[in-house]
Amino acid sequence: MRLILVATGVGLIMGLFGTPLLIRFLNRHGYAQAIRDSAEGYPAHDAKKGTPSMGGVTIVGGAILGYVAGHVYTWHGPTASGLCVLFLMTGLAAVGFADDYIKIFKQRSTGLRARTKLIGQAVVSLVFALLVLRYPDNHGLTPASHAISFVRDSPWVLPLGVFLAWVYLMVAATSNGVNLTDGLDGLATGASVMVFGAYVVIGVWQFRNACASDLTAHCYSVRDPLDLAVLAAAMVGACFGFLWWNASPAQIFMGDTGSLALGGAMAGLAITTRTDVLLLLLGGLFAVIAASVILQVASFKLTKRRIFLMAPLQHHFELRGWGEVTIVIRFWIIAGLCVGLGLGVFYAEWVSGGPL
């Protein structure tokens, strides 16, 4: 569809040509992220010192411009679902920007305190959760529902308080998962492209089989699926453009500005397309890397022994002697397999004519 191509193309152009402008600006002012010393276990990362950060600004900007361009192209206004996901993405980008600011200007590699970051994520996600339950369309559909969903809403309807907690859990888990994955050049960006690409497919498929136009019992009750596909396409383009400059050796890092925004956009798309639990499959690489950190911390606290040489998981393989590019490519393969599995499950549910 031309609408999808416009959003992707504008996002791509912004990423390709906006990122080098940002690199020059950051280099001119000496805005480089503090890198952990080799004594902390990252000897191969000493060469990354001086690399500018906050590259997520161009990803977020490219996605917004791509989304807007799609609507200018069609002369249709944005939808409630799309605006809610944009709010979640930009809100978490603001939290990440504050974290990057501390890393750059205070030269403190840990950035915001963990509690402060979680509070920021909580505020943004809870506002998002309240927004997606409002603004019904002509068919009475709101951007999200109280039900837990896998590939569509299930019969498990959550009370408001539990729903708010569920949304916060999804947003925090996904945004922190992407953040933990963003440790090697291009790793998180490339994996994110695959997940957003999957949501382009899901959104278009739901639009083609929406209950508003298809009265079969197996149609999709999702508000604004095509608009969500346009937003996902804009994210694909922006990430692709940024990846050109973020691939090894990276000329810029996305920083928490980018990683938290990407994770938030994924969670927002999952909630508004009614594919909450499916995101665990689509973003399987992020889940595995986050789980490696949880297991490492739990093992050390309980037994004083470590499961991995270092967590997150990609650094374990660095210390095993794997090259950075080798790790990134192999992890991209894993990410692609997870996305393929998720889309396969999504389509198999449709073909089967009912819940799997």
Q: Using 70 as the pLDDT threshold, list the residues of the chain that sit under it.
A: 32-47, 106-111, 213-217, 354-356
b/e code 165-183 from CB counts within 10 Å (16+ = b) = ebbbebbbbbbbbbbbbbb
Residue 59 maps to a domain = yes
Query: What is the distance in angstroms between the CA of the first residue and the CA of the last residue of the chain?
Result: 30
Q: pLDDT at position 214, please?
A: 58
Q: pLDDT at position 219, please?
A: 87
Residue 306 maps to a domain = no
- Upstream peptide bond of 355 is cis (omega within 30 degrees of 0): no
Residue 78 maps to a domain = yes
Question: For 164-177, how does the pLDDT look when each residue is reduced to its tens digit (9 = 90+)?
Answer: 999 999 999 999 99
What is each CA distance from 307 to 140, 302, 316, in whole angstroms?
50, 12, 10
Neighbours of 122 (CB within 10 A): 15
pTM for this model (two decimals)? 0.94
- Upstream peptide bond of 20 is cis (omega within 30 degrees of 0): no
Residue 61 maps to a domain = yes
Question: For 250-263, how does the pLDDT look when each residue is reduced to its tens digit (9 = 90+)?
Answer: 999 999 999 999 99
Q: pLDDT at position 218, please?
A: 80
What is each CA distance from 50 to 10, 23, 123, 168, 298, in whole angstroms?
30, 11, 33, 35, 34
Residue 339 maps to a domain = no
Identify whether the C-beta of residue 222 lies closer than 8 Å to the C-beta of residue 141: yes
Q: pLDDT at position 42, please?
A: 55
Residue 335 maps to a domain = no
**Domain span at 234:** 2-281
Closest CA to 198 of 134, 283, 127, 131: 283
Name residue 197's amino acid: G
Residue 35 maps to a domain = yes
Q: pLDDT at position 242, please?
A: 97
* H helices, E strands: number in the chain: 13, 2
Domains: count for the chain: 1
Residue 260 maps to a domain = yes
